[in-house]
Structure 1
């Protein structure tokens, strides 16, 4: 009988490796369905919490934050594109274009989680595809609402959330909780509140870990 398993996926819409990691984890869960019955919860992490409206050119941002050259960034993007393709996620060939503030996306994801895990997963995927697949500005209300509709959620309710500050406090509390737990990079996959797998790992790495944890339980 498959072992019930709680998985917290700590991540940011702005993180390309989070798109790779989620697609990879979903493949691993499909492969290990005989041993694992998992419930996914998406937890907030902002890579750029101080990003102003309008965002910043991605190459300028990465140069300022990490150093490096445009050629190095392009090689890194190619690696990410290849890793994404291997797990079924298609990145926009031209890249993201700009880095945006993702706080409102996290507020909507919190709400979607209250609606149910399937709804939250659908919104997470829709947001990742909007940003990394189509280079859309995920700070814009129209883009966020389109993702909500694509996920089958109530766009009028989402619009009301965006018009106020609902779930802002809850998102900030969750962010602090994971930061205080030592999470400093994403994606971070936490299984049953005990086991941490860091980074956008290949499906076989996730599958081995899932099966091992299931056998121990």
Structure 2
């Protein structure tokens, strides 16, 4: 493949979505397979449940209210443990005590983008790990501040901004935009703003799709106005 400019991959996700964590790992595996062009990854916000209060809800109570049957919940967890293990994820659902509201986490992810793609990717990966493998409450500002510091962000600035309403409106607007675009579930991978892949696609599927878009871009086909 000839050299071409970066391919933009926007990932619409929520950091309390286990399938999004699988999608993040699969995307990284896909990128490791791709050569000859760059891929610019940007993480976009989505909230599976924006009605959760800022202090969060008890995890078990929340799951029972949402899914009802404890046996169904355990079956879901068993399936995710198996799929997660294949992606290198050690899901520890029993460690999760709080179902958080993720608006502040998404604000933090938005700020991380200004520090660079690697910083944002590192932060997103760490937030998934904190929640799903360590049971941390990622709605807690102290947890978010530690994650920001680990990712290489300006921790004093983050500490100043988190208690304020900074960028809440902007994040909510992005979530609304995703809904208007037809995003009804996550993860959703948007390639060059034109092509969408829904769900935690396997690495080979993601790599193939990104590669085909890169080839089309190199041929100038993406410069044509969409029909």
TM range (shorter): over 0.9
Q: Deviation at 1:93?
A: 5.2
Quick check: 2:93–2:132 contact (8 Å CA) kept in 1?
Answer: no
Quick check: 1:29–1:36 contact (8 Å CA) kept in 2?
Answer: no
Quick check: 2:123–2:148 contact (8 Å CA) kept in 1?
Answer: yes
Residues 117-128 of structure 1 correspond to what in structure 2 (within 5 A)? 117-128=117-128
Helix, strand or coil at the partner of 1:115: coil
Structure 1 vs Structure 2 CA RMSD: 1.6
CA distance in 1, matches of 2:189, 2:182: 13
Task: Report the counterpart of residue 46 of structure 1 in structure 2.
Answer: 47
Residues 48-197 of structure 1 correspond to what in structure 2 (within 5 A)? 48-65=49-66, 67-92=67-92, 94=94, 96-197=96-197
Helix, strand or coil at the partner of 2:51: coil
Helix, strand or coil at the partner of 1:214: helix
Q: TM-score, normalised by structure 2?
A: 0.89
Helix, strand or coil at the partner of 1:201: coil
Q: Deviations over 1:18-43 (max 9, x none)?
A: 100010011011112x1441001000
| Bigger Rg over Cα | 2
Q: Deviation at 1:84?
A: 1.6
Which ranges of structure 1 fall in alignment gaps of 5 or more residues?
none
Which ranges of structure 2 fall in alignment gaps of 5 or more residues?
218-227
Q: Deviation at 1:132?
A: 0.8
Task: Report the counterpart of residue 30 of structure 2 in structure 1.
Answer: 28
CA distance in 1, matches of 2:36, 2:82: 29
Distance 1:199 1:95, change over 3 A: farther
Q: Deviation at 1:64?
A: 2.6
Q: Deviation at 1:2?
A: 4.5
